[in-house]
């Protein structure tokens, strides 16, 4: 069994991965020309560069594992229609993304988005300035969790209520915070547009840690400017980096972070642990973790 890995691994990391499949031949390269050569007899591939040309050069390929979770742009048509199994790293980024989403929510709940943009004079010494911040603060404690899923299920303790896609507007109308964490697919591109934002409370805050294209950015800006939306915490935007002339930069009710919600000093450890476990399963003929529905996009 040959496994091609198109990522840099230290000697220690390579030995760790090899320990999961002692009998396999592990090949490491990040150069496209070398990948094109080595993929010819590889059964498993961890990209690295990957496209239709490389897939066509890989007659023995049976499994591809992506080191990231969102596969928009990675599931090219030839791969979708092939018999190659695809897995991703869903769950690897869950902890840092959840903490980042909570941080953005707390920034608004505690008025930190206002404090960060104000000078000492405006924050402490201008008449009514302190009250202007104090009057906005709230608590997250006691919030109900409402979820919208493509395949709704009975609430299991993570959410109090779970809607299907047809319940999106009903869910939005109840929320103080709208958290977007779904995959970007043809079905979710532009999912939150002007009609959806019209159903959200004027005091609500939208938090996006998924993909910028899920939100109609022009509609978002319009809602923020008009007061139809209370604020936005954005780790992702439609264009990245967000252009310097975007009005989002200067809005006091917007907090922007540079697509770092999945970042953590433990990310690499978790990525490689999943690679190692799936390689073990592949070699043992056991079901793989995180098999992707290639046609659905996640």
Q: Look up 12 and say whether it is catalytic.
A: no
- Determine which one of 31, 81, 240, 252 is catalytic: 240
Is 13 catalytic? The answer is no
DSSP label at residue 123: I
Number of neighbouring beta carbons within 10 Å of residue 250:
9
Instruction: Please tell me the distance from the alpha carbon of residue 98 to that of residue 111, in angstroms, as a whole number.
Output: 20
122 is catalytic: no
Total residue length of the chain: 298
Q: Angle 194-200-202 (CA atoms, 0-180°, nearest 5)?
A: 105
Of 65, 100, 113, 211, which one is the catalytic site residue? 211
Q: Write the CB contacts of 31 (distance below 8 Å, at least 6 apart in sequence).
A: none
On whether the CB atoms of residues 2 and 42 are closer than 8 A, the answer is yes
From the candidates 259, 268, 276, 281, give the one annotated as an active-site residue.
Answer: 259
Q: Dig out the tokens for 283 from the structure.
A: 């070699």
Task: Point out the residues that are catalytic.
Answer: 211, 240, 259
């Amino acid at each position: 069994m040959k496994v091609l890995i198109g990522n840099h691994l230290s000697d220690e990391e390579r030995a760790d991965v090899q320990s999961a499949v002692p009998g396999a031949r592990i090949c490491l390269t990040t150069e496209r020309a070398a990948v094109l050569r080595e993929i010819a007899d590889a059964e498993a591939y961890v990209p690295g560069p990957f496209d239709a040309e490389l897939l066509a050069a890989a007659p023995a390929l049976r499994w591809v594992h992506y080191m990231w979770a969102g596969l928009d742009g990675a599931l090219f048509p030839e791969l979708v229609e092939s018999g190659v199994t695809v897995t991703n790293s869903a769950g690897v980024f869950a902890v840092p993304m959840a903490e980042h989403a909570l941080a953005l929510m707390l920034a608004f709940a505690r008025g930190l988005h206002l404090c960060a943009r104000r000078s000492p004079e405006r924050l402490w010494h201008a008449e009514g300035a302190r009250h202007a911040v104090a009057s906005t603060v709230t608590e997250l404690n006691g919030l109900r969790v409402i979820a919208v899923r493509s395949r709704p299920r009975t609430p299991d303790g993570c959410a109090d209520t779970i809607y299907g896609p047809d319940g999106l507007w009903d869910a939005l109308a109840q929320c103080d915070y709208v958290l977007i964490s779904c995959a970007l697919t043809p079905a979710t591109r532009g999912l939150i547009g002007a009609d959806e934002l019209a159903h959200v409370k004027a005091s609500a805050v939208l938090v996006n840690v998924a993909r910028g294209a899920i939100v109609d950015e022009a509609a978002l800006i319009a809602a923020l400017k008009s007061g139809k939306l209370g604020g936005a915490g954005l780790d992702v935007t439609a264009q990245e980096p967000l252009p310097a002339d975007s009005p989002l930069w200067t809005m006091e009710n917007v907090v922007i972070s540079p697509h770092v919600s999945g970042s953590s000093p433990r990310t690499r450890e978790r990525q490689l642990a999943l690679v190692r476990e799936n390689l073990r399963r592949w070699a043992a003929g056991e079901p793989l973790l995180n098999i992707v529905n290639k046609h659905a996009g996640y």
